[in-house]
Amino acid sequence: METATPVQPAPADATVPFRRDPLGCLIVALDFPSADAAMHLVDQLQGTCRWFKVGMELYYAAGDAVIQRLLDRGFEVFLDLKLHDIPNTVAGAVRSVAGTGASLLTIHAAGGEQMMRAAAQAATAPNAPELLAITVLTSMDAAELNAVGVADTPAAQVLRLARLARAAGVNGLVCSPEEVAAVREAMGAGARLVVPGIRPAGPGKPDDQRRIATPGEAIARGASMLVVGRPITLAADPANAAAAILNEIDAAN
């Protein structure tokens, strides 16, 4: 099988809508139950990734130590904790996370403007991560939103929460590929839009993601960064899978 060639990085501004450095666009999700399993995948990627996502499963199992192991090897960390609580509690959590060295941290926009405003204020502390507000999870469709009392479509709810986040001082968002073009238009070039629900071109399973797109489609619509998990972590050759996605990103720039 032909091996995809990793794209060489070039300097890029993280705030522009299309980051020209493919390595700066790709975040590999380390959704593993232990630090050793996560680091085994990191070893397999052979330099095809700069960013890793540490989510709840791995963070609750391994804590700050796994973040430090990644930082020690020169990687950047997206800490995906999806904070959602009263304003004071979330602000305290943001201040605590500032000591981990993570570059990005998620909060739930559904927590409301006051919660996000408190989080944004806490994120002004030295070494605090940049905040990303989760809009509507990619696993949810209109029927699931309706079941929790949201009558609008996912697209309308995403835009509502995006505008609420901006009003609260949070200029980074997580949204699905289906909404990213509308969010980019509403938020402008300065917003960092992080997009999960990415499935490479060609046959494959959506798994539990419902609002999905290929890497090239998401970048063309205005994504800043893409979060990719199982298409890389479950691949027979993770490095080749990651390199192929980098090439899809580069072709869409």
Active site residues: 82
- E-only strand ranges, the chain: 26-29, 51-55, 76-83, 104-108, 130-134, 172-174, 192-195, 225-228
Contacts of residue 166, defined as CB under 8 A and 6 or more positions apart, other chains included, come to 187, 191
Query: How many alpha carbons fall within 13 Å on the CB side of residue 3?
Result: 10
Q: Are strands 26-29 and 225-228 parallel, antiparallel or unpaired?
A: parallel
Distances from the Cα of 89 to the Cα of 96, 119, 248, angstroms: 11, 9, 40
Q: What six digits make up the tokens of 48?
A: 């095809």
Dihedrals phi, psi of 137, to nearest 5 degrees: -55, 145
Dihedrals phi, psi of 71, to nearest 5 degrees: -65, -40
Q: Please calculate the CA angle 75-170-110 and round it to the nearest 5 degrees.
A: 105
Q: Are the beta carbons of 162 and 201 closer than 8 angstroms?
A: no
